[in-house]
């Protein structure tokens, strides 16, 4: 699980750098839709990798924990 999460962090950091660079370069004409799809794809592939590395019970517990923590999360505007 640690390796999967480390890979996710690395890939998300790279995605975020590219997103920010493109947003700065394009300004008000920036189309974030392709980037949001890439982010969704990254999350889905990470979930799939986690499902392979955890038991069904472990994945269910992780999913429940994530859902319960979402109520404390806030979206920060750059």
- DSSP secondary-structure letter at 28? G
pTM of the model: 0.81
Q: If pLDDT is split at 50, 70 and 90, which confidence band does 76 have? A: confident
Tokens of 45: 């592939």
N-to-C CA span, the chain = 30
Burial annotation 7-31 (CB, 10 A radius, 16+ → b, else e): ebeeeeeeeeeebeeeeeeeeeeee
Question: What is the tens place of the pLDDT at every residue in 30-67?
Answer: 999 999 999 999 999 999 999 999 999 999 999 999 99
Tokens of 78: 């750059």
HSE (side-chain half, CA atoms, 13 Å) at 66: 8
């Amino acid at each position: 699980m640690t390796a999967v999460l480390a890979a996710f962090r690395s890939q998300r950091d790279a995605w975020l750098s590219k997103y920010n660079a493109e947003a700065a370069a394009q300004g008000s004409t920036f189309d974030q839709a392709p980037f949001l799809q890439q982010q969704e794809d990254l999350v889905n592939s990470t979930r799939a990798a986690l499902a392979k590395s955890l038991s069904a019970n472990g994945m269910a517990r992780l999913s429940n924990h994530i859902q319960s923590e979402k109520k404390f999360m806030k979206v920060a505007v750059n």
